[in-house]
Amino acid sequence: MGQGGARGQRENRMMREAHREAAERVSQARLWQRHMAMARIGAIAGNGVNRPALSDEDIAARRLLIEWARAKRFEIGVDAIGNLFVRRAGLDPTAAPVMTGSHMDSQPRGGRFDGIYGVLAGLEALEAIDEAGVVTRRPIELVAWTNEEGGRFQPCTMGSSVYTGARKVEDFLDVTDNEGTVLREALARTLAATPELREHNFNAPAAAYVEAHIEQGPLLEQQGKTIGVVTGIQGLRWFNVEVFGKTDHAGTTPLALRQDALRDAIAIIDTLARFARDPSDVVRFTVGRMLVTPNSPNSVASHVLFSVDLRHPDPATIDRLGRSVEPLARDAVRQCTLKVTPTLHDDPCVFDAGVVAEIEGCAQALGLSHMRLPSGASHDAMYMARVCPTGMIFVPCEQGISHNEAENAKPADLAAGARVLTAALLALADQ
């Protein structure tokens, strides 16, 4: 081996050593305290969080993140859908950043870790790298995506879908929440709350993206592993199904003369549930949202809107399931008219082999137990995977419980995931 080779190897080793040192700077106490501080914003009974996208609580969470980022003099920006960016500069200002992040919005009865963990782990990584004094070639950029959950405004993964050019911001401006608030107004209020931030463009080039998240399933805990190296995300289809009937008096109108939107909605849901029945229990079928008008015990329902969420890891199967929704609904409807609107069409994604191997290597180098696994939940990484090499890091959550106030995770596991994230970001930032 020539001298250059030996020097190269030595430099490589020193670089890896610097990455490990930065990873060791991750502060478990700071990371946990920040989770608890964020959990106070929108806190609900049972240790849960209700922090809907583009709400006052979301704005408060953004302000807190900005305050922490400002204290470290990181650059902060926001784009036109409200995605919030925190950047630590690299040596080469023209190089595309390595990105990390997740979301700060929650489900209506959500927990303290879904989404916010990936944001706080990303901030922790930036701070650990800064405190270790590591200089990277590329900038490292944290992003808090707008409306990942889709609990208030549908669909989910809205911010990342717009950022990556898969959807347009105009597609979503007229979407309303259950109270009739229009997204356009909620977004304008959110952006007006941070007028000082620099404007960030959509679809700025990214060198790579790594997202940390709690697993939201039981596998890591069952297998006694600390780090999940995520291989991909299953496909999804979302629909809004609207049934139009006629309101009538519940006591006087003979059943045969009714156009009962709720009765037809139930028939449609029953048909779809039978169709989605799967002995191997891989198909996921959920109707989780329903709006009934006029929603009175003694008036026949004139209008029902309900959601359909379908998921499967196989592209052909999710396609077949998705294409069947409207014809099955039309067959099932009896007295009313029907409108089926697709709101989300995400094919399964497979993460980049190089990023997956890098995450695995970092977990190994840090002496953390790990396993590969696919994601049943959806994430913004699904959209980033369309535009740059992408991967995800999972950490265990108690009994796999998520989208539930009881969601819980161990401080040591959260810190371990942040260490792997730090090392992976550093490795990718020098490529």
Which of residues 377, 395, 414, 418 is near ligand GLV by CB under 6 A? 377
Q: Give how many residues touch ligand GLV by CB under 6 A.
A: 4
Q: Give how many residues touch Mn ion by CB under 5 A.
A: 2
Largest Cα–Cα separation, the chain: 95
Buried-state track 123-159, b at ≥16 Cβ within 10 A, e below 16: bbbbbbbbebebebebbbbbbbbbbbbbbbbbbbbbb
Cis peptide before 315 (omega within 30 of 0): no
Residue of 277, 287, 286, 271 lying closest to 328 (CA atoms):
271
Residue of 410, 417, 375, 378 lying closest to 395 (CA atoms):
417
Instruction: Using the rule CB under 5 A, give the single segment among 114-122, 296-304, 353-361, 388-396 that binds Mn ion.
Output: 114-122
Of 302 and 378, which CB lies nearer to ligand GLV in the complex structure? 378
Distance from C-alpha of 144 to C-alpha of 105, rounded to nearest angstrom: 9
Of 161 and 422, which CB lies nearer to ligand GLV in the complex structure? 161
Q: Which does 101 bind (CB under 5 to 8 A by kind): ligand GLV, Mn ion, none?
A: none
Which of residues 39, 49, 76, 156 is near ligand GLV by CB under 6 A? 156
Query: Least Å distance between CB 156 and ligand GLV?
Result: 5
Q: Which does 124 bind (CB under 5 to 8 A by kind): Mn ion, ligand GLV, none?
A: none
Instruction: Using the rule CB under 5 A, give the single segment among 46-54, 108-116, 220-228, 265-273 that binds Mn ion.
Output: 108-116
Residues 395, 416: contact at Cβ < 8 Å?
yes
Q: Which does 105 bind (CB under 5 to 8 A by kind): ligand GLV, Mn ion, none?
A: none
Residues 38, 116: contact at Cβ < 8 Å?
yes
Query: Least Å distance between CB 397 and ligand GLV?
Result: 13
Query: Least Å distance between CB 149 and ligand GLV?
Result: 5
Query: Least Å distance between CB 157 and ligand GLV?
Result: 8
Binding to ligand GLV by CB under 6 A, coded x per residue (else -) over 403-422, reads --------------------
Task: Assess 373 for contact with ligand GLV (CB under 6 A).
Answer: no
Residues 283, 276: contact at Cβ < 8 Å?
yes
Query: Least Å distance between CB 52 and Mn ion?
Result: 12
Q: What are phi and psi of 98, to 5 degrees?
A: -90, 130
For 347-431, list the strands marked E by DSSP: 349-350, 370-375, 390-395
Which of residues 378, 380, 384, 424 is near ligand GLV by CB under 6 A? 378
Task: Assess 115 for contact with Mn ion (CB under 5 A).
Answer: yes
Task: Assess 101 for contact with Mn ion (CB under 5 A).
Answer: no
Distance from C-alpha of 62 to C-alpha of 81, rounded to nearest angstrom: 14
Query: Least Å distance between CB 401 and ligand GLV?
Result: 13
Distance from C-alpha of 229 to C-alpha of 315, rounded to nearest angstrom: 22
- Token pair of 287, please? 């109707």
Q: Which does 378 bind (CB under 5 to 8 A by kind): Mn ion, ligand GLV, none?
A: ligand GLV
Query: Least Å distance between CB 99 and ligand GLV?
Result: 19
Which of residues 57, 105, 114, 309 is near Mn ion by CB under 5 A? 114
Task: Assess 380 for contact with ligand GLV (CB under 6 A).
Answer: no
Task: Assess 215 for contact with ligand GLV (CB under 6 A).
Answer: no
Distance from C-alpha of 193 to C-alpha of 181, rounded to nearest angstrom: 18
Residue with tokens 């069409």, as numbered in its chain: 345
For 281-419, list the strands marked E by DSSP: 284-286, 290-293, 303-312, 337-346, 349-350, 370-375, 390-395
Residues 177, 149: contact at Cβ < 8 Å?
no
Task: Assess 149 for contact with ligand GLV (CB under 6 A).
Answer: yes
Of 74 and 394, which CB lies nearer to ligand GLV in the complex structure? 394
The binding site for ligand GLV (CB under 6 A) comprises: 149, 156, 377-378
The binding site for Mn ion (CB under 5 A) comprises: 114-115
